[in-house]
Amino acid sequence: MTGARPVVISCGEPAGIGPEVAARAWAVLAGEVPMVWLGDPRHLPADIPHRVVNDCDQVLNTSPDALPVLAHAFPADNVLGQANPANAQAVIDVIARGVDLVRAGDACALTTAPIHKKALKDGANFAYPGHTEYLAALAGVDDVVMMLASDQLRVVPATIHIALDQVPHVLTPAHLRRVIEITAAGLKTQFGIAQPKIAIAGLNPHAGEGGTMGRQEIDWMNDLVKTMQDEGFDLMGPLPADTMFHAAARARYDAAIAMYHDQALIPIKTLDFDRGVNVTLGLPFIRTSPDHGTAFDIAGTGIANPTSMVEAIRLAYKMATS
């Protein structure tokens, strides 16, 4: 395969299902999407052929009969299902190396395999609660947006990896405005939707029910939505979150912005866990990820479904080449 640059896939936590779903995704996508896996070749499943390459150029000049691998040696043993703290820094370094490859133009996009956040914090004092925040720091941008996308739903949590009791403090008019702006821009530039329709969830039950169940909606959310509508954004809301995700409601918008992590991720992981893709909007490069985590409980058993990883790589490549 020649032409477009490859998608680089960071290995993620090697004790989890990341290496196996990446390898099995390559088996599905070989010949369709050029890709290179960045990690320790010892962590790949034995039944998938791989070939160590020196750089991304070599990926484009080799026949698609083996998964191309950029080797990154891990210092310690790897036991499936049990993160080794001594490998935590290498997991972090692989992500940074993947970003460098994309920013240098050697790869066209980054797809990340899942990390175990607590293992990285315990093993390497990782200062970020997830890829999203780490990638923003590496890119030097203040505001990024996490979107989870599938054929059935696109959804954004306006606040991400924070405790529930912090949500009302972080969720200010300025913050929500920025999330709406980045989401609208991302729908245009990365999803090709010229006039995106965006639904905004309320924070409180029944979107506050006129202030009887919380005041954020009547204190400022209604005004923000109205102001941004007047500026040309196609917004609806704030809507009661419990009734905005059924099929007929979903047909009315291109993306929904929820106010906190689980308000956004429960509907999409319930609807489409196998095919959901996590996309970071607002970065100066393309980043996707499967919607699942490290799944230590099934690592190495051969039952991990690679479809979300397939869709993540496919979407990254589509965004990079269209």
Ligand X SMILES: N[C@H](C(=O)O)[C@H](O)COP(=O)(O)O
Ligand Y SMILES: NC(=O)c1ccc[n+]([C@@H]2O[C@H](COP(=O)([O-])OP(=O)(O)OC[C@H]3O[C@@H](n4cnc5c(N)ncnc54)[C@H](O)[C@@H]3O)[C@@H](O)[C@H]2O)c1
Give me the residues that bind ligand X (CB under 6 A), please: 130-132, 265, 278, 289, 291
Nearer to ligand Y, 149 or 244 (CB): 149
* Cα distances (Å, whole numbers) of residue 298 to 138, 237, 273, 290, 304: 31, 40, 16, 16, 7
Q: Rounded to an integer, what distance in angstroms lies between the CA atom of residue 195 and that of residue 199?
A: 13
Judge whether 105 and 8 are in contact, CB under 8 Å.
Answer: no
Which residue shows structure tokens 């484009």? 60
Least distance (Å) from ligand Y to the CB of residue 308? 6
Least distance (Å) from ligand X to the CB of residue 43? 19
State the binding partner of 132 from ligand X, ligand Y, none, CB within 5 to 8 A by kind. ligand X
Least distance (Å) from ligand Y to the CB of residue 300? 12
51 annotated as ligand-binding: no
Count Cβ atoms below 10 Å from residue 271 Cβ, excluding itself: 17
Least distance (Å) from ligand X to the CB of residue 147? 10
118 annotated as ligand-binding: no
Q: What are phi and psi of 184, to 5 degrees?
A: -60, -45
State the binding partner of 265 from ligand X, ligand Y, none, CB within 5 to 8 A by kind. ligand X
Q: Rounded to an integer, what distance in angstroms lies between the CA atom of residue 248 and that of residue 170?
A: 31
278 annotated as ligand-binding: yes
Strand ranges inside the chain, DSSP E:
7-10, 35-39, 50-53, 67-71, 109-112, 145-149, 154-157, 197-201, 234-239, 255-258, 277-281, 287-290
Instruction: List residues near ligand Y by CB under 6 A.
Output: 17, 21, 114-118, 131, 278, 289, 292-295, 297-298, 304-305, 308
State the binding partner of 305 from ligand Y, ligand X, none, CB within 5 to 8 A by kind. ligand Y
Residues flagged as binding site for a divalent metal cation: 161, 206, 261
Residues flagged as binding site for substrate: 131-132, 269, 278, 287
Residues flagged as binding site: 131-132, 161, 206, 261, 269, 278, 287
